Structures are given as structure tokens and as C-alpha cells.
Structure 1
Amino acid sequence: MYNHIFEPLTIRRMTMKNRVMMTPMGTNYAGQNGEINEKHIKYYEQRAKGGTGLIMVENASVSSPEGSNGTTQLRIDHDSYIPGLYNLTETVHKYGTCIGIQINHAGASAMSSRTGMQPVSASNIPSKDGGEIPRPLEVEEIYDIVKKYGEAAKRAQIAGFDAVEIHAGHSYLLCQFLSPVYNKRTDEFGGCPENRARFAKLVLEEVRKQVGPFFPIFLRFSAEDFVEGGNTLEDTLELLEYFQEEADVLDVSAALNASLQYQIDANYMKDGWRSYMAKAVKEKFGKPCVTTGNIRNPEVAEKILADGDADIIGMGRGLIADPEWVNKVEAGKLDCLRKCISCNIGCAGHRIGLNKPIRCTINPSVINGEEYKNKKVEKACNVVVVGGGTAGLEAACTAAELGCTTFLLEKNDHLGGLSALISQIPDKNRLGDFPKYLINRAKKLHNLFIFTSNNGNPEFIKGLNPDLIVNATGSAPLLPPIKGLHDNIDKEGGKVSSIVNMINNIDSYPSDLTGKKVAVIGGGAVGLDVVEFFAPRGAEVSIIEMMPSIGAGIDPITKVDINTLMNKYGVNQMPNTALKEVFADHFHVETKEGPKDLYFDYGFICLGMKAQTPVLAGLHEAFDKEGVEIINIGDSMRARRIIEGTSEGRDQVILALTKKGFLK
């Protein structure tokens, strides 16, 4: 079905067994001093074992500390790192997978709080809003960094890598010279395209000099900056004329820090949306090109390759979510694909926003994969899971995969829970891929029995002779006792809605709401989903938040994206504002300046979610004295995000079965 995906590709003396490349994406798995460790190696080994053609390891610093990026970034600026990196390449090669490493200098994207020194750049322009002011590099320093790139590439070659990639995009140092957003120099490294490309040209030439004629060099760059005054695709095509000569493969990416949602794609971006850029680059320079951009569906990947728009499909988050993506596609197991939902919470949110090691919302074991399946219960065990949302489905599947006879009870006539509901919002459609995967996974397990339209009452559960009961009954909208709220919300013909009511009636809202007023109470993720739906339809939208900032706690990609959207459509943002009373056609709020009435055509209460546990007390009353273990997971323990529920669905079941002596 996918001949182009599985066609080998030879670049100089490296042959990829297929056209899928794992793109470099920081993990924060490296040691404190930038060394690779066993967990890090295991993480890449899972993706090699999963059939990936080429793994391009996350960016490694060519000059530390001043060029470092991330809390614990890999380093390749000293020979002492070669042995550890060799352990990595040796492990990956066992699976017939090629492996390269991206080398990089962060420039102004470095932080003095980590490095202890002022960042450097082309000019004194911060790499992001609110970032530190960097020091412009002296010409002698530029040539010194050029040399360090070459030395780093040579170390990569010695360590057994099959290729090296030079990062010249995404607001890092080389990009800071290429983009007029950052480069305000007036010497031979600034001004015209040829001058701005000079640094990158010198780096490529030095790397080629160090690695010789047979070692593949990849070049990653931002083809479109997507910011005012930045490089357009046409500008980049001109720039490339001056510095791409020594590159064998052009890895066509996009965006700067200020347009992060186009670099680490927002969830509404279509599969393969960037391929037009790779096509333009390939047509001009005739070299193999990598394209990326939310590519999750093999049909899209195959078409891009078949049409000749690109030669290699780059997947980063997609392979974090499912290390077995390539093997599953090759075997035709498409309904088993755990497609990344581009939520950017555990990967980008952890690493960029919180300086933590990466995790994944839908893959509860990024490092160890599905090794848990090697365990099996040592005696007969019945597990009952109440609640068929994502947490409950993960718990039920895990229990069944460990050999338990498992019963999944769901009060509705369908599975999927809140994730399936929210995915009905057009821009959240990708979210629906996760419950679909879990449902398909559940249906394939012969020892997992599903009962829909079942409330999970204790009498029914007693007949199943449970050894372990998992409560995963989810959450419901939080509706505090604010005057007038309960009298007006979700009434037939009324103007005030909860998020659930809004989604259930989503097809009834006109596509053109010009002149209509929308007021949203709650500036968290749920309220912002409503803003994202109504603002582009022309409505005059106001968002009200009691706390000092709107969007606190959301991942950095979504934050940049939603702020761009609110600025574009003139959304009235009202932080430090409290809802005091709800009326049929307006909200009475208290601002810093005093009370105010906000009239609306559509009003929404989005104050978050609260745990709902309608059967938990009854389960404890019925089973505690019988020694049945009862665990409460996901939103029914505390309303949070999908990532916590998925993790608990896997880990807490394994822990409970171990505690009860069913697993060792």
C-alpha cells in the first residue's frame, strides 16, 4: 500500500531502509553535564526497534556553556562525549536503523540563568519576547564557533553516526544571522542575503572539510519565519543559494520563537501542511528534502513522497507517541496506530515550559514502550473498570494485556469520554484519534468485555467477582454557587451555556457571527477553546478570568498560538475580573475599576471541571470488607488533563496488581 514510504534511499554512503526520519526533538534526558545515559539510549532504541529508517538525535551543543539550549542538553564539544555516543549508535544500528545527530549553537536562545554568562547572537536582539538581550559576536568569535562546528561533526563521525545535521533554523544562532528579524549587523556578516548567509556557509564548508567527501550532511532551516519582517519562502530560496552547496539533504522546517505554533505544530494544522515549502526547495536545488508538519496518517506521507514534494518524511512527536509507527504501517495495522494528537503538553510543554524531561499525553511509557506486556498475572484475576473515557480505557486495556479477565462498564452508549466530546470542536478534531485508538485496542483483546449503558452499580459488579475495581468516572463542568448561574445555564432557548452544552449544539452556531457578542467566563484551556471557535467567526469576544493572567498553565505552543489569535481578532481580555452574578443576557462582573455588566448574545461558563464519583462511595461500602482493592484514577480523583489519566490508567493498575500479589 505504501511503496514510496518503504523505498530505500541512499545518500552518499548511507542507505535508509525507508523514508521515515525521526526528527531531532529535545528530551531533557541527558545527564547534568550533557552526557548520554542508559535511559536516553533506551528511548532511541524503542524508535529503532519500531522500524524508523533514520533517527536524527536531538541537538547537541558544539560549544558549552554559552551555546547550550535546554536544561540538560546533549553535548558534543569535547572528546569525552564520544564513548557514550558510540554506545547509542551501536545500539541503534542493531535494528538496521541509520542514525545522525544534530549539532547546534543556541546563541541568544541560551539563558544566563543556566550558563552563567550573557547570551551571544548576531546583534543585540532577544530571540523571543521578554528574552535576554544578547551580546553581538565579534568576527573572531564567529570564526572560532565555525571551527567548533567542524570539530563537533568530526566527533559525531568517530562516534559512529551515519550523518550529521547542522541546525540553521528555529531562532538558534545560525538562524539569528540568517533572519533579518535578528541580524542588524553592518559588517560582512549582516545586511544583504549573501552576508547574512556567510556564517552558515563557513560552518558547512568547515564541517565538510572535517568529515570528508562521503559523510552525509543534513541542513535544517526555517523556510518561512512567519513573523513580520522575517524571511519568506522566496527570501530563503535566495539565501540558500549562498550556503547550501555542501549539504546533501535539506531539512525544510519553519518558524521562529515568535511563531512557535508553526514550528512545533498546533493541533489544528493539517497533516503535511508544510510540504509546499519542501517542494519549492527541491524544485530549485534538486536535492533530497525532508518535510515535517503533523504527519500522522500514512496516506498523507505516501502522497507527499509519490508526488515528489519531498524525499523523506520527518516525524518527531509522532514517534514519541508511537515508536512502532513504521512497523505498524508496514504490517497494515493502521487501526493500531497511536497517532500523536499534537497537544504539546508532555513533550514541548514539559521541556520548553517547565524544564522537565519529556513525557507524552497518550504514551504513558516514552522510554520503556510496551515492555509491561512481558509481565503476566500468575493467578486468575478479575478486574472491573467503571468509566470508559481515556483513563478507564487505558486501565482496562492494560489489565487485559497483563492477562486479567477484565470488564469495562460505561454509563453512556458509547466510549471515549470527554476527549471524544471535545474532539467535536473543529480545531480539536485531532484529539479524537486517541479514544479511537484505545477503543480499537480494547476490541482486539479477547479477555476484555465491554458493557455500555451500564452505570456500574455494586450489585452488577458483585456478579463479576472482582479482585480489583478501577473507578474512572471522569469529571463534569464546575458550576459554583454563583447567584443566577444555575437558574440560567443550559436552559432550552437560553443564552448561557456550559462547554458540554456548547459542544452538543456546535453545528447550530452560524459561521458568520459578525456583530454578535460572546462572553466567556474562565481563561483556562476550556474557555480558550470557546474563544478559538467564536473569534474567527467575526464575533466580538470577551474573556473573563479571575486570576492575573489568561491561559496560565497551558503549554507554550498553545499560549503563543492563542495569543496570536486573540490579538488578530481583537479579543477583549479581562484578567483580574470576577463573576458576581449571571443573568439571562449578561454577566455582572467585578473588575479592578469597579462593577460592570457584560451583555452577550452567547455566554459561556468555563470555570474548569470537577471530579465526579457517583458510584465510588457505594463501591467502597459494598467491597471494602471483602478485601477487594478499589483505586480511583484520572479526573474522578481530581480533574486534570488527559496525560495524568493515561499515566494512572497504566501505572496504577500495574501497581495494584503487584500489591495484591498477581504480578511480580
Structure 2
Amino acid sequence: MPQSGSPGILSPAALGPVSLRNRIIKSATFEGRAPRGLVTDDLIGFHRRFAAGGVGMTTLAFCAVTADGRQFAPMIQMGREAVPGLRRLTEAVHAEGAAASVQIGHAGVVANAKSTGLPALGPVKRFDPQNLRSCRMATKADLRRVVAAFGDATDVAVDSGFDAVEVHLGHDYLPSSFLSPHLNRRDDEYGGSLENRARFAREITRTVRERAKDRIAVIAKLTMDDGVRGGFWIDEAVQVARWLEADGHLDALELTMGSSPGNTMYMFRGEPPIREFAAAMPQPRRLMVRLGGRLKLRSYEYRPLYMLDAARQIRAAVGLPLILLGGITEKAHMDTAMDEGFQFVAMGRALLREPDLVNRIQTDPSHRSLCIHCNKCVPTIFAGGTHCVLATD
């Protein structure tokens, strides 16, 4: 049980201007259910299940702020043409009593240029061995364009009825790649010192807040440790979190780990599903995954609350509301988060296994999650839409 003075996980909470019915958030998990880059009934049903299942808020995963910011061609771009479908999604979520958030971002070095038909952007020119292409160095004009696009995407989110936007500053997507000393070798005002490397992320959050005003909540998802040699680590993350708090543009900060291009399994933990990843890939990537998957997809022992140790350091440094992610599958884990001073928790894989997990916990606080952390859900984003391969309903 929570200690005296710490809030109950199932109690209502304020997230900036938004009131949530509880403190449990469905984290952004790319759904793979927008094959033409627009909302589908399947995508609406995906999020409706979590809302009906009891979460306080569900998060529509990565929506690109520009065409070149998509990771793959069949991704939602936050333009005016997307508004009618996005509004149908938010109305469906609201009808089940939950709030709706949308994650906005730019894929940067993670973008598959072959799929999008557009050059990928990075802090510097870089060859991508996975896609056998190079990303080009983002010019200052590119950065201004992307910052402005985050603002435009915020307007789209408001007009679509979302309660919050989540700015993606993690996993070595474009803003996160600027934070990384491994990926950012620039010698201008966006490279070198941590203050310079954080400039782009801070410009983005400022613009998003200016456009959001107090109409919706603004969250940022920040990597604490990307798991890459010479990359972005917790000591720098603490300072960036302090700057983001001092800037005053965020209502909450969600903490994450790992690097999509550099160390994917660091954010998931457990055994990497090499065979399933290979089966979901076209050639020649299928052969590359089969032959070299163990080098790219490393194995990390799974344990409950596996991001907590790092997150404690952020918690000690800032007073900003924090969202704890990583290995949270039971009420006991949630109570620990509350006791440690985190205001919210976020879940991904456990909710794929049981979309009604929150309702089950509310009925029976001792309920144990059915998720076995096999990670076989992860490759399903490339084949037929993200889902738990063990779920029967």
C-alpha cells in the first residue's frame, strides 16, 4: 500500500490543465494500423480497448510533424487532412471516460528513407547500415522548419480534441540525436557542449507550449540513458531535465531509455525475438537480422521497475511531475512509484496482453499481469499491427 501522504495510483490527478481519472497512462507504442497514413477503425478500436479497460489516458504513438519526419511511409503526419480521423479517435476514447494524448516527433536518423522516399535528417551526415543509405546533415533552415512544424502539429492536436501532446525527445529520434555526443558531432551552436546539444529540444518544447497555451497538457519523453557507448547518459539527462523544468514549458516528463538505431532492446529488456524480427523484414534486411541480429539486438535481463534506479536520479533533481515507465505490471509496482514521488506510471506490453488490466487491478489489487515479457509483440509492428501474440481475444 502507498505510504501515508503518497497518492493512490487509482486516484484522480491533474496533468496541467487536464483531469485524469487515475494516474495510469498507456504509453506510446507504434500501432501499425494506419496503412495510408490516416486513422482507421482498427486504430480507433485499438485505443478504445485501453480506454474501456480503465487507463487514465491512452497515447497515440508516433505521429510525424513533417513528411521527412516519418519513420515509414504508412505513418500519420500531423496535417489538416488527418484531423477528421484523429477527432473520431479522441471522441471514442473520451466516450470510454479516458483522456487522449498524441506523441509528436521527427524520426531523424531512425527514418527509413527508402520507405518514405525522402532523405533522412541527422545532426551530421551518417551512413545507415540497416537501410544502406545515408542521412544528410540538418541545416539550420531544416531545424527552424522542424521546430515550426512541432508548433503546427500542436495546433492539429488541439483541433483534433486531444488532451495532451507528448513531444518525443527520446530513443535517438531527431531531437534526441542532437542530445547524443555519439551522434552529434556538429561544431556550431547546436553541437559540442551539452547546452548547445540541448538547444534544439528546448526550442521545440518552447514552441509547443506557445501554441498549446493552457488548452492541453504538454509532456516530453526524455531518454535517461541510451545504452550506447559514448552516447547520452544519466548525468547529462539530469541537467537537461533541470533545464526543461526551468524553461517552464512542460506539465510532465516521461522517462525512458534506449536507442532505436543503437540499442533497441535496452528500452525493452528481456530476450530479443530474433526469429520473429527476421520474419517480419523484407530482404535483404531479413538475412541481415538472421545473421547479425544477436550483435544488434542484445539481451538484457528483465526485472520489474527496471528504469527506477535511473529515474530516481531525475526525481531527486527536479520538482516537475514525472511519469515512470519500464517493468510496471502490477499494483505493487505502481504503489512503489507513488511512494518514490512519481506522479504517474506508464505501461506498454502489459496492456497489449491485457487491455483491461487496470479494471482487473481495480477489482482485485493482487491481480498478476499475464505478460511474460517475451517481446514477441515488438516485431508485430511490421506485420499486421502491434499486438500480443499470446492474447486470445
Aligned residue in 2 for 1:281: 314
C-alpha deviation, 1:72, in angstroms = 2.5
C-alpha deviation, 1:249, in angstroms = 0.5
C-alpha deviation, 1:355, in angstroms = 4.7
Give secondary structure in 2 for the equivalent of 1:134: strand
What is the rounded CA distance, in whole Å, between the counterparts of 1:203 and 1:7 in structure 2? 32
Contact 2:270 2:302 in 1 (8 A): yes
From 343, 351, 356, give the equivalent of 1:324.
Answer: 356
C-alpha deviation, 1:221, in angstroms = 1.3
Aligned residue in 2 for 1:197: 198
C-alpha deviation, 1:314, in angstroms = 0.7
C-alpha deviation, 1:70, in angstroms = 3.6
C-alpha deviation, 1:237, in angstroms = 1.2
Please list the CA deviations of residues 561-607 of structure 1 after superposition, one character each: whole Å capped at 9, or x if unmatched: xxxxxxxxxxxxxxxxxxxxxxxxxxxxxxxxxxxxxxxxxxxxxxx
Aligned residue in 1 for 2:288: none
2:379 paired with 1:349? yes
Give secondary structure in 2 for the equivalent of 1:46: helix
From 346, 349, 356, give the equivalent of 1:314.
Answer: 346
Contact 2:220 2:250 in 1 (8 A): yes
What is the rounded CA distance, in whole Å, between the counterparts of 2:236 and 2:174 in structure 1? 18
Aligned residue in 2 for 1:172: 173
C-alpha deviation, 1:286, in angstroms = 0.2
Aligned residues: 357
C-alpha deviation, 1:343, in angstroms = 1.4
Q: 1:339 to 1:131 in 2, by over 3 A?
A: farther
Letter in 1 for 2:343: D
Aligned residue in 2 for 1:47: 50
Contact 1:223 1:252 in 2 (8 A): yes
Structure 1 unpaired stretches of 5+: 366-664
What is the rounded CA distance, in whole Å, between the counterparts of 1:363 and 1:318 in structure 2? 11
Contact 1:197 1:243 in 2 (8 A): no
Map 1:19-58 → 2, pairs under 5 A: 19-32=23-36, 34-58=37-61
Letter in 2 for 1:120: L
Letter in 2 for 1:255: G
Please list the CA deviations of residues 519-565 of structure 1 after superposition, one character each: whole Å capped at 9, or x if unmatched: xxxxxxxxxxxxxxxxxxxxxxxxxxxxxxxxxxxxxxxxxxxxxxx
Map 1:321-400 → 2, pairs under 5 A: 321-332=353-364, 334-335=366-367, 337-345=368-376, 347-351=377-381, 354-365=382-393
C-alpha deviation, 1:128, in angstroms = 7.0
Structure 2 unpaired stretches of 5+: 272-300
What is the rounded CA distance, in whole Å, between the counterparts of 2:58 and 2:229 in structure 1? 34
Letter in 2 for 1:60: C
Contact 2:242 2:317 in 1 (8 A): no
Aligned residue in 2 for 1:135: 136
Contact 2:72 2:116 in 1 (8 A): no
Give secondary structure in 2 for the equivalent of 1:261: helix
Map 1:401-480 → 2, pairs under 5 A: none
Instruction: Percent identity, please.
Output: 26
What is the rounded CA distance, in whole Å, between the counterparts of 2:128 and 2:204 in structure 1? 21
Letter in 2 for 1:29: R
1 or 2 for the larger relative contact order (CA 8 Å, sep ≥6)? 2
Aligned residue in 1 for 2:281: none
Give secondary structure in 1 for the equivalent of 2:225: coil
Q: Which has the larger radius of gyration?
A: 1
What is the rounded CA distance, in whole Å, between the counterparts of 2:104 and 2:88 in structure 1? 18
Letter in 2 for 1:344: N
What is the rounded CA distance, in whole Å, between the counterparts of 1:71 and 1:321 in structure 2? 27
C-alpha deviation, 1:123, in angstroms = 0.9
Aligned residue in 2 for 1:256: 259
Please list the CA deviations of residues 506-528 of structure 1 after superposition, one character each: whole Å capped at 9, or x if unmatched: xxxxxxxxxxxxxxxxxxxxxxx
What is the rounded CA distance, in whole Å, between the counterparts of 2:178 and 2:244 in structure 1? 12
C-alpha deviation, 1:157, in angstroms = 0.9
What is the rounded CA distance, in whole Å, between the counterparts of 1:150 and 1:126 in structure 2? 30
C-alpha deviation, 1:131, in angstroms = 5.7
What is the rounded CA distance, in whole Å, between the counterparts of 2:224 and 2:350 in structure 1? 22
Q: 1:278 to 1:126 in 2, by over 3 A?
A: farther
2:294 paired with 1:290? no
Contact 1:51 1:326 in 2 (8 A): yes
Q: 1:128 to 1:254 in 2, by over 3 A?
A: farther
Contact 1:16 1:97 in 2 (8 A): yes
Map 1:455-604 → 2, pairs under 5 A: none
What is the rounded CA distance, in whole Å, between the counterparts of 1:71 and 1:147 in structure 2? 21
What is the rounded CA distance, in whole Å, between the counterparts of 1:225 and 1:131 in structure 2? 23
Q: 1:362 to 1:11 in 2, by over 3 A?
A: same
Q: 1:312 to 1:132 in 2, by over 3 A?
A: farther
What is the rounded CA distance, in whole Å, between the counterparts of 2:73 and 2:145 in structure 1? 24
Give secondary structure in 2 for the equivalent of 1:287: coil
Q: 1:184 to 1:159 in 2, by over 3 A?
A: same
What is the rounded CA distance, in whole Å, between the counterparts of 2:250 and 2:33 in structure 1? 29
Contact 1:108 1:126 in 2 (8 A): no
Return the TM-score normalized by structure 1.
Answer: 0.52
Letter in 2 for 1:57: L
Letter in 1 for 2:222: F
Return the TM-score normalized by structure 2.
Answer: 0.86
What is the rounded CA distance, in whole Å, between the counterparts of 1:272 and 1:149 in structure 2? 31
What is the rounded CA distance, in whole Å, between the counterparts of 1:127 and 1:311 in structure 2? 38
Contact 2:177 2:183 in 1 (8 A): yes
C-alpha deviation, 1:334, in angstroms = 4.1
Q: 1:288 to 1:71 in 2, by over 3 A?
A: same
What is the rounded CA distance, in whole Å, between the counterparts of 1:285 and 1:116 in structure 2? 41
C-alpha deviation, 1:183, in angstroms = 0.4
Q: 1:301 to 1:71 in 2, by over 3 A?
A: farther
Give secondary structure in 2 for the equivalent of 1:133: strand
What is the rounded CA distance, in whole Å, between the counterparts of 2:71 and 2:336 in structure 1? 35
What is the rounded CA distance, in whole Å, between the counterparts of 1:105 and 1:313 in structure 2? 24
Please list the CA deviations of residues 371-404 of structure 1 after superposition, one character each: whole Å capped at 9, or x if unmatched: xxxxxxxxxxxxxxxxxxxxxxxxxxxxxxxxxx
Q: 1:253 to 1:48 in 2, by over 3 A?
A: same
Give secondary structure in 2 for the equivalent of 1:362: coil
RMSD over aligned Cα atoms = 1.8
Q: 1:280 to 1:56 in 2, by over 3 A?
A: same
Contact 1:58 1:102 in 2 (8 A): yes
What is the rounded CA distance, in whole Å, between the counterparts of 1:214 and 1:282 in structure 2? 27
What is the rounded CA distance, in whole Å, between the counterparts of 2:351 and 2:324 in structure 1? 15
What is the rounded CA distance, in whole Å, between the counterparts of 1:299 and 1:274 in structure 2? 15
Letter in 2 for 1:137: A
C-alpha deviation, 1:129, in angstroms = 6.2
